[in-house]
Amino acid sequence: MTHTVAAETRTGRPVTFGILRRLPEHLAIWVPLLLSAGHLVSFALWTVWISFTPSTLVPVSGWVGLRNYTAVMATRNWQIAFDNLLLFGCGFVLLSLLTGLLLAVLLDQRIRGENVLRSIFLYPIALSFVVTGTVWSWLLNPGLGIQKLVNDIGWTSFRFDWLIDRDMAIWTIVIAAVWQSSGFAMALFLAGLRSVDADLIKAAQIDGAGPIRMYRRVILPTLWPITVTVVVIQLQFAITTFDLVRALTGGGPGLATQLPALVVYDLMFQRGLLARGAAAAVLMLLILLAVLLPYAGWRYLQRRQAAHA
C-alpha cells in the first residue's frame, strides 16, 4: 500500500489520491474515535454545565454559581463517601501493590507451571466487577459463605461478618477489589522483573548478594517507575469504583461503604437532583485530575531525563 502511494507521489499525481484510496481505513479508524472522543468530551462539558444550573428532575438552564457544590459537600452522605474513598483507595492500592509484587516475585523464581499460575492470577481481571461483587457478597455473607463453612467444619465460634459490620464493611470492598486487580499489578511487576538487565543480576551474584539482598537492593529499586504506574492506574480505578460496591454492599450497611460514584448515582437517578449529582460527578473528576495531572508531569520529566541521558 505505502509502496504504491509513494510511487504515485513520485510520478507527480496528487497525494490526496492516495488518501482517497485509503478512505475505508481512515473511516474505520477516525469515525469511531472522533465519535467516542466527542461523546466523552461533550458529556463531560454537559455535566459541568448542568452542575451550575438549578436542574432537578430535568435539565433546565439558569445559573446558580457554586450552590450545588457547597450543598453536596455539606451533606453527610458526601463526607462519608469521601472519607471512605480515602480509606478504600489507600488500603486497596497498598494491598494490591503488595500482593501483586509478592506474586510476581514468587512467579519470577522460574517455577514449573508458571504459565498456568499466571493465567489463574490474571483471570479475575476478565470478570465484570458485578460478578466479582456478587460472588464475594456470597462468600462474605456470614450465613452463606466463609463463616458458615468454618462453622460447619466445627469451629463454631468463628466469626467473619465484616460484610454486616459498619466498621469493617469497607474492608470487604478492599478484599474484593484486591482479589480482582492484584493480578494486573502482578503482570506489570513480572514484566518489570523480567526486564531487569541480566548483567545487573550477574554482577550482584559475583558481589555475593543473597536472594533477599538481591531483591531489596538491586532488583526492586529498578521497579519503581512501574510501581508509580500501577499506583496511578489503581487509584483512578478506586476513585471511579461503582459496580463493585453496588453488587457487594450497595453502599451499606447504612452508609458504611458509600463512595462518591454511588453518591452521584443516588443524587441523579434516585432523588432526581440532576444538578447536585452533576456537581458530585465534577468533584470526582477533580479528584481524578489531582491524581492524573501530577502523574502526567512526572512522566514528562522522566521522558525529558531519558532524552537527555
Q: Which residues bind other proteins (CB under 8 A)?
A: 197, 199-200, 202-210, 213, 217-218, 221-222, 305, 309
User: Helices H, strands E: what count in the chain?
Assistant: 15, 0
Closer residue to other proteins, CB minimum distance, 38 or 211:
211
Closer residue to other proteins, CB minimum distance, 166 or 213:
213
- Taking the complex as a whole, how short is the minimal distance between the CB of residue 235 and other proteins, in angstroms? 24
- Taking the complex as a whole, how short is the minimal distance between the CB of residue 108 and other proteins, in angstroms? 18
What is each CA distance from 86 to 52, 55, 79, in whole angstroms?
Answer: 26, 30, 11
- Provide the grid cell at 12: 507527480
- Taking the complex as a whole, how short is the minimal distance between the CB of residue 199 and other proteins, in angstroms? 4
- Taking the complex as a whole, how short is the minimal distance between the CB of residue 110 and other proteins, in angstroms? 15
Rounded CA separation 76/255 (Å): 9
Say how many Å lie between the first and final Cα of the chain, rounded: 37
Closer residue to other proteins, CB minimum distance, 130 or 203:
203
- Provide the grid cell at 66: 457554586
- Taking the complex as a whole, how short is the minimal distance between the CB of residue 203 and other proteins, in angstroms? 4
Q: Closest by alpha carbon to 280, among 49, 83, 73, 42?
A: 73
Length of the chain in terms of residues written: 309
What Rg value do the Cα atoms of the chain yield, rounded? 25
Closer residue to other proteins, CB minimum distance, 73 or 209:
209
Closer residue to other proteins, CB minimum distance, 25 or 197:
197
- Taking the complex as a whole, how short is the minimal distance between the CB of residue 305 and other proteins, in angstroms? 8
Does 211 sit behind a cis peptide bond, omega within 30 degrees of 0 on the bond before it? no
Closer residue to other proteins, CB minimum distance, 119 or 302:
302
The DSSP output letter for 126 is G
- Taking the complex as a whole, how short is the minimal distance between the CB of residue 233 and other proteins, in angstroms? 23
Give the position of cell 489531582: 290
Closer residue to other proteins, CB minimum distance, 25 or 207:
207
Do residues 232 and 292 touch, judged by C-beta distance below 8 A?
yes
Closer residue to other proteins, CB minimum distance, 62 or 221:
221
- Taking the complex as a whole, how short is the minimal distance between the CB of residue 102 and other proteins, in angstroms? 20
Do residues 250 and 174 touch, judged by C-beta distance below 8 A?
no
| 194-218: b (≥16 Cβ within 10 Å) or e | eeeeeeeeeebeeeebeeeebbeeb
